[in-house]
Structure 1
Amino acid sequence: MTPWIRRAIGLTAVVAAATSLVLPAQAQNRELRYAIGQPPSALPVIGGQAFAKAVAQATEGKLTVKVYAMSLLNMAETSAGLRDGLADIGFVLTPYFPAEYPHTNVISEASMMLRLMGDKVRGKEGLAYIPAMTEFIFTKCPECHEEFAKQNQVYTGHVGGSSYGLICNKPVKSEADMKGKRFRVGAANWARWVTAMGGSPVTMSANEMLEALKQGVVDCIVLSSPEIRNFGLTEVVTDIAMAAPGGIFSTAGSNVNMRVWRSLTNEQRAALLRGASVAAANVPFAYHRVENEVLDQMKKRGARIHETDPALVQKSQVFIEQDMKTIADYFASKHGVKRSAQMLAEFRPILSKWVDLVQTVSTEEQYADLYWREVFSKVDTATYGMK
C-alpha cells in the first residue's frame, strides 16, 4: 500500500469520526431492513407492515423499517442472515434450527399442549399460546436469551397462527387413512405425531409445500387453514380435516441484530418493542379471524371438509400427554437442555393464565393492549439486550 493511500484512508477515518461527533445517532434518520421469508400477501408480512408503521409513529419518522417479503432472505436463510447483518430485523423460524435454539424450541414443540387446556381455548389457541410463550422467554428462560445472543440476535417476542390440522390432496380423516401416506411437517412434534398415527413425516421448507403437494411428493401438509391462502395452496388442496393434531406454529417474529440493537437509542429500542407488540398481537388475531373464512372459501371451491374420526382425536390426546415427557427427554439428551422438564412445568401455568386472559378479548386493539400491559411494557430497554 503506497503512503498516499494510507494517508487518504487515515484522513477518511478522521472525517468519519468527526462527522459522528457532529451528528449523534439520535439526530439521524435511519431505515432498518426487516426480512420475512413469506410471500407479500401472507399474514405475517401484513403483521410486519404493522410493526413498521408502529415504529415510525413512535419515533415520528426518525426510525423506519422496510419489510422485505420473500426477497432479502428466505425462511432457511433468515437466522444466519440476521446473525451476519444481511438484515437488521428477521422473522426467525426457530423450529428450523434445533441445534441453535434448543431452549426456545422446547416450548415451541409443546404447542399441542393446547389440546389439554379444554374446550374454552378452541378458536383462541394462538391468542393464548403466543403471549404465554413470549412472557415465559422474557421472564423465565435466560438460556433462551443466551442462545439468541450466540446468533448475534436480540429477542423481541414471538408470533404465531391458529391451530393445525390436515391439509391434503385426498381424504385423510382417520388412522386408517393415514397409514402409508406422506405428510409434510414443519416441526418435530408433528413428525412424531404423524409417525405415531401410522404416516410418514417429510421435512421441507414451507416455500416448497406447493410443488410437493402438486407433484404428489406428499399427500398432506400438517398446517393451519389460513396458510392455504398465505402459500397459494388453493388450487391443489382437495380435502381438509382440522380436529387433529392441533398445536400451532410459533416463531421469533422480529429478532434484531445485536449490533444494530445496541447502536440505537433507548427511545428507538423502546419503539422496536412497541412495534413487536403490535405485530405479536396482529398476527395471531388475523389468523383466527380468517381461519373459518378460508375453510368456507375452500368448501365453495369444491374442497371436502371432513369430520375427523373421534378415535383418531382420542389417540391424539393420549399421544400429546405422553409427548410432553418425550419433548423433555429429547431436548435433555440430544441438545443438553438440563431444565427441559422444569421449563415445561413452569410454562403450563403461564399458558393457563393466558387461556383465561383472552376469553374476554373481542378486538385486536383489546388484545394488543393486553399484550403490551402484561408483557412488553415490563421490559427495560435501557438494559435489555445491552450486555
Structure 2
Amino acid sequence: MKMKTLARATLATLMSAGLLMAGQAQARQLTYAMGFPPNSDSDIAGQHFAETVSELTDGDLTVKVFALSLLNFAETPGGVRDGMADMGYVLTPYFPNQFPHMNLVAEASMLINLMDDSLRGREGYAYVGAMAEFVLLNCPDCLADMEKENQVMTSNAGSSPYGLTCTKPVTNREQLEGARLRVAGSHWSRWAQAFGATPVTLSSNEAAEALSQGVVDCVVISAPELTNLGLFEHVTDITMSIPGGIFAGTATTNMNRDTWQSLSESERQAILKAGSRLAAEIPYVYHDREQKVLARIRDERGAKLHEADPELLAEIRDFVRTDLERMAEFYRTERGVENSAEMLARFQEILEKWSGLVTEVDSHDELAQLYWDEVYSKIDVTTHGM
C-alpha cells in the first residue's frame, strides 16, 4: 500500500513538473531594440516597460531590451519591418518619406513657444499626450504609414524642451549667424536657416564626435541628452531658452506587424498598458532631470548657462507662426500629405486641450493614468494593427 501511495505521489509530482515545464515552454520573449546606450534614461524606461509587460501577463509574455546592441537608430525601422527585432524605438523624423503624416505634427512642436507660461516645466507632458491622441485615435493616415512599413504603433514619447548646447556662447542673432547646428528635425533646420545658421543633420549617435571634432558648434537637444548621448564632456555653453520645441517624433515601441497580430488580445492590451506608462515616464523623467543635469554640467565642467536675448525670443515666436503655414504647404506638395493644413488645425485643438489636462499632474503615475484614460484605453485591440 505504501508503495502504491508513493508511486501515486511520484506520478503527481512528475505531472505537476510537466505542467510547469509546459507552461514555461509557452512563455514568449519579445526582442526590443533601441538606439540609446545602456543605462540612459530611455533604456531605464524600456526596462520598466519590460517589467510591466511581464507583470501584466503573469510572465507569459516577456521583453528583452537591447540598448544600442541589436539596432542603432538608423537601422531600427528596417529591422522592425523585417523582423530582426519584434519592436523598436523608432525616431520618425529620421525617415521623412516613410512617416510623413506623423512627422507633420511632430514638426509642429515649436508651438510650445507660443503657449502660456503656466505650461512651463510640463511642455513634454502636454505634447506627448496630444501626439498620442492625434496619431492613435484621430489619424488613420499616420497608422497607414506604419502599416506600409510592416509596423504597428503601440506607444509614443517626447522630450523636455530643446536648447542650444554648444562649444561657444550663442545667445543672440549675431552669434547665431554662421553657427553650425546639429538639428534633429526639419523645423529646427528651417529655424536655423532663417536666423543665418547652418543646420547639420546627424544621427544622435554621432553628435558627441561631431562636437569634439568641431564639425558642429552646437547640438540642438534637450538637457538630459547631455548625459544620455555622451555630450557632457564636450559642451561649454548652454542656452536652453532657444530654439524651443521638443522632439516628439518618437514611436517608442513600434511593433513588427506580424508579431503584433500573433499576440492574444490580452497580450496586446498589456503592451498598450505598459506603453502608456513608458509614454509617461520618458517626458516625466526628462523634465525632472533637466535642472539637475544643467546644474551638474555647470558645477563639474564649468559650463556657462546663458539666457537668450529677448529680441531674439520675440523673433523666434514670429518665426513659429509663419512656419506653420510653410510646413503645411511643404508637406502637401513634397510629402503627399493632402490634408496637411486641416491636420495641423485639428492637432492644435488637441494640444490646447492637453495643455489644460496636465496642469495638475505631479507624478509619473498621475501622468501615466491620464494617458491611459484619455488615449490608450480607447484603442480597440481587435482592430488596431490587424
Sort the TM-score into its range (normalised by shorter chain). Answer: over 0.9
Check whether the contact 1:25–1:265 (CA below 8 A) recurs between aligned residues: no
1:88 equivalent in alignment to 2:71: no
- Once residues 267 and 26 of structure 2 are traced to their aligned partners in structure 1, the CA distance between those partners, rounded to angstroms, is 12
1:306 equivalent in alignment to 2:306: yes
- Once residues 45 and 134 of structure 1 are traced to their aligned partners in structure 2, the CA distance between those partners, rounded to angstroms, is 21
SS of the aligned residue for 1:91 comes to strand
- Once residues 74 and 88 of structure 1 are traced to their aligned partners in structure 2, the CA distance between those partners, rounded to angstroms, is 14
Q: Residues 357, 217 of structure 1: CA spacing in aligned structure 2 closer, same or farther, 3 A cutoff? A: same
1:31 equivalent in alignment to 2:38: no
SS of the aligned residue for 2:358 comes to helix
* Counterpart for residue 272 of structure 2: 273
- Once residues 148 and 351 of structure 2 are traced to their aligned partners in structure 1, the CA distance between those partners, rounded to angstroms, is 27
Please report the TM-score for the alignment, with normalisation by the length of structure 2.
0.93
Give the counterpart of 2:74 among 64, 73, 76.
76
* Counterpart for residue 285 of structure 1: 284
Check whether the contact 2:155–2:278 (CA below 8 A) recurs between aligned residues: no
SS of the aligned residue for 1:109 comes to helix
Check whether the contact 1:180–1:199 (CA below 8 A) recurs between aligned residues: yes
- Once residues 324 and 121 of structure 1 are traced to their aligned partners in structure 2, the CA distance between those partners, rounded to angstroms, is 21
* Counterpart for residue 335 of structure 1: 335
One-letter identity of the residue aligned with 1:28: Q
CA displacement at 1:179 relative to structure 2? 1.1
- Once residues 321 and 23 of structure 2 are traced to their aligned partners in structure 1, the CA distance between those partners, rounded to angstroms, is 52
Matches within 5 A, 1:310-321: 310-321=310-321
One-letter identity of the residue aligned with 1:258: R
- Once residues 311 and 66 of structure 1 are traced to their aligned partners in structure 2, the CA distance between those partners, rounded to angstroms, is 49
* Counterpart for residue 18 of structure 1: none
Q: Residues 326, 289 of structure 1: CA spacing in aligned structure 2 closer, same or farther, 3 A cutoff? A: same
- Once residues 320 and 133 of structure 2 are traced to their aligned partners in structure 1, the CA distance between those partners, rounded to angstroms, is 23
SS of the aligned residue for 1:278 comes to helix
1:344 equivalent in alignment to 2:344: yes
Please give the per-residue CA displacement for 1:254-298, whole angstroms capped at 9, x wherever unaligned: 011000000010011111111111100110000000001111111
* Counterpart for residue 109 of structure 2: 111
Matches within 5 A, 1:1-387: 28-250=26-248, 251-301=250-300, 302-386=302-386
SS of the aligned residue for 1:242 comes to strand
SS of the aligned residue for 1:111 comes to helix
SS of the aligned residue for 2:241 comes to coil
Check whether the contact 2:137–2:379 (CA below 8 A) recurs between aligned residues: no
SS of the aligned residue for 1:359 comes to coil
SS of the aligned residue for 1:308 comes to coil
One-letter identity of the residue aligned with 2:30: L
CA displacement at 1:157 relative to structure 2? 2.3
- Once residues 316 and 244 of structure 1 are traced to their aligned partners in structure 2, the CA distance between those partners, rounded to angstroms, is 8
One-letter identity of the residue aligned with 1:344: L
Q: Residues 24, 190 of structure 1: CA spacing in aligned structure 2 closer, same or farther, 3 A cutoff? A: farther
- Once residues 133 and 377 of structure 1 are traced to their aligned partners in structure 2, the CA distance between those partners, rounded to angstroms, is 15
**Unaligned ranges ≥5, structure 2:** 1-20
Check whether the contact 1:114–1:125 (CA below 8 A) recurs between aligned residues: yes
- Once residues 343 and 206 of structure 1 are traced to their aligned partners in structure 2, the CA distance between those partners, rounded to angstroms, is 28
CA displacement at 1:25 relative to structure 2? 11
**Unaligned ranges ≥5, structure 1:** 1-22
CA displacement at 1:349 relative to structure 2? 1.2
Q: Percent identity?
A: 49
- Once residues 304 and 119 of structure 1 are traced to their aligned partners in structure 2, the CA distance between those partners, rounded to angstroms, is 24
One-letter identity of the residue aligned with 2:166: C
With 115-124 and 256-265 compared, the bigger mean Cα shift is at 115-124
- Once residues 41 and 340 of structure 2 are traced to their aligned partners in structure 1, the CA distance between those partners, rounded to angstroms, is 31
- Once residues 360 and 271 of structure 1 are traced to their aligned partners in structure 2, the CA distance between those partners, rounded to angstroms, is 27
Please give the per-residue CA displacement for 1:50-98, whole angstroms capped at 9, x wherever unaligned: 1111100000000000000001000000001100000001101100000
SS of the aligned residue for 1:381 comes to coil
Please give the per-residue CA displacement for 1:293-339, whole angstroms capped at 9, x wherever unaligned: 11111111200000111111111000000111111001000011001
Large movers: runs of 4+ above 6 Å: 23-27
- Once residues 135 and 169 of structure 2 are traced to their aligned partners in structure 1, the CA distance between those partners, rounded to angstroms, is 39
**CA RMSD across the alignment:** 1.4
SS of the aligned residue for 2:93 comes to helix
CA displacement at 1:24 relative to structure 2? 11
One-letter identity of the residue aligned with 1:370: L
Query: Aligned residues, how many?
Result: 364
Check whether the contact 1:166–1:223 (CA below 8 A) recurs between aligned residues: yes
- Once residues 339 and 295 of structure 1 are traced to their aligned partners in structure 2, the CA distance between those partners, rounded to angstroms, is 40
CA displacement at 1:26 relative to structure 2? 11
